[in-house]
Amino acid sequence: MKILVTGGCGYIGSHTATELLEAGHEVIIVDNFSNSSPEVVDNIKEITGKDFEFYPINLLDEENFENVFKENFIDAVIHFAALKAVGESVEKPLEYYNNNIGSTLVLFRLMKKYNVNNLVFSSSATVYGNPITCPITEEFTLSVTNPYGRTKLIIEDMLRDICKVDKSLNVAILRYFNPVGAHKSGKIGENPKGIPNNLMPYITKVATGELKELNVFGDDYETHDGTGVRDYIHVIDLAKGHLKSLEKLNENPGLVTYNLGTGKGYSVFDLVNTFSRINGIDIPYKIVGRRPGDIAECYSDPTKANKELGWSAKYGIEDMCKDSWNFYRGK
Ligand code: UD1
């Protein structure tokens, strides 16, 4: 298949593009490097030994984006391109709505115009808001607590509306839990610009000494050690979930939604202790107040993806910690 990957230089996009190329698919990447860099293009080529089309453009630039559709016969789209920092989205809601929703509208218009009917959409467990219990199934009530999350939910809602009337569309909505880890080669991984918001990138920056210590946001949650519990999933497992969804799109016409998680919850201390043990590096930390908007625990029930896609996460928390560090220490 010839697959357009928007945001293909980003963290999850680059790993998915790599898996697609290794599985023998043709890939076209569109990325404007808003949270990535041109070297990712070369690194994907180096890992896979394969070439692909690359367009350094913003999806909002409809004229140039349309050329991608004119110049290629696209079978399917995997749509990652989006701004994704929760705190920033609260500060700059308009920017988030304009970028995430606006660019998706351009994409959907072009897909319709050029008769591209297969789509995998990158959503997030953030659409479950404050879940009443765990594990979380796809049937849980949806709600969001910040503009970033709202952009994901709005796009999901748009897709549900569009698919009701356009029966030619095949769409998989994938709700990721907490992606961590990196490619085994150490050539691609998560390298956020500025001070990271998420736990694993913060830990890796403490490990190099770039940041002095980790702030643990609360140790008084109702969890096994008082710190927040999340469903960390290796980015390679996540990437493979995209391949499986893509392969099944034609078997499951219409719209399908899957949780991509391991089904296991680990606390902040679990992650810090495993990182220290497996990599032999001490991670200094201090306990600070809870981060506004955080919840005690959030982990998936991945049964639906296990059964319907024949997919399950293979890597454990030790691999996640080892591979995150293997990538980041090479920076
Ligand atoms: C966050 C976003 C979520 C987004 C996801 C992407 C918030 C509130 N939620 O999820 O919308 O989809 O990232 O991966 O930002 N922690 C610390 N110290 C830190 C950073 C985090 O103690 O410096 C703790 C948090 O309190 C939480 C856990 O680590 O218990 C994981 O945090 P994080 O990596 O930011 O992910 P989420 O909050 O689950």
For the Cβ of 272 lying below 6 angstroms from any atom of ligand 1, the answer is: no
d(CA 244, ligand 1 centre) in Å: 27
Whose structure tokens read 């998915």? 16
* Beta bridge partners of residue 26, listed in sequence order: 2
The C-alpha angle with vertex 29 and arms to 28 and 35, in degrees rounded to 5, equals 175
Measured in whole angstroms, the distance separating CA 158 from the mean position of its chain's CA atoms is: 19
* Cβ of 198 less than 6 Å from ligand 1: yes
* Whether the bond into 135 is cis, omega within 30 of 0: yes
Answer yes or no: pTM beyond 0.75.
yes
Rounded to the nearest angstrom, the distance between the alpha carbon of 306 and the centre of ligand 1 is 25
Pocket test for ligand 1, best of 90, 124, 217, 260 (most atoms within 8 A of CB): 217
Show the DSSP H helices in the chain as ranges: 11-22, 39-48, 62-71, 86-91, 93-96, 102-113, 147-165, 199-208, 235-248, 268-279, 303-309, 317-328
End-to-end C-alpha distance for the chain, whole angstroms = 33
Tell whether ligand 1 has an atom less than 6 A from the beta carbon of residue 126. Answer: yes
The pair of three-digit structure tokens given for residue 193, joined into one six-digit string? 């610009």
pLDDT tens series, the chain, 331 aa? 999 999 999 999 999 999 999 999 999 999 999 999 999 999 999 999 999 999 999 999 999 999 999 999 999 999 999 999 999 999 999 999 999 999 999 999 999 999 999 999 999 999 999 999 999 999 999 999 999 999 999 999 999 999 999 999 999 999 999 999 999 999 999 987 788 999 999 999 999 999 999 999 999 999 999 999 999 999 999 999 999 999 999 787 899 999 999 999 999 999 999 999 999 999 999 999 999 889 999 999 999 999 999 999 999 999 999 999 999 998 7
Spell out the domains of the chain, with CATH numbers in brackets: 2-182+232-261 (3.40.50.720)
Radius of gyration of the chain (CA): 19
Position 295 scores a pLDDT of 93
pLDDT confidence of residue 253: 85
Which residues are marked as active site?
A: 148
Q: Which atom of ligand 1 is nearest to the CA of 152?
A: 12
Instruction: Estimate the share of the chain in helix, then strand, then coil, as percent rounded to the nearest 5.
Output: 40, 20, 40
Q: What is the pLDDT of residue 235?
A: 98
**Closest ligand 1 atom to the C-alpha of 196?**
23
Residues contacting 58, CB < 8 A, separation 6+: 32, 34, 65, 103
pLDDT of res. 1: 96
Query: What pLDDT score does 193 carry?
Result: 77
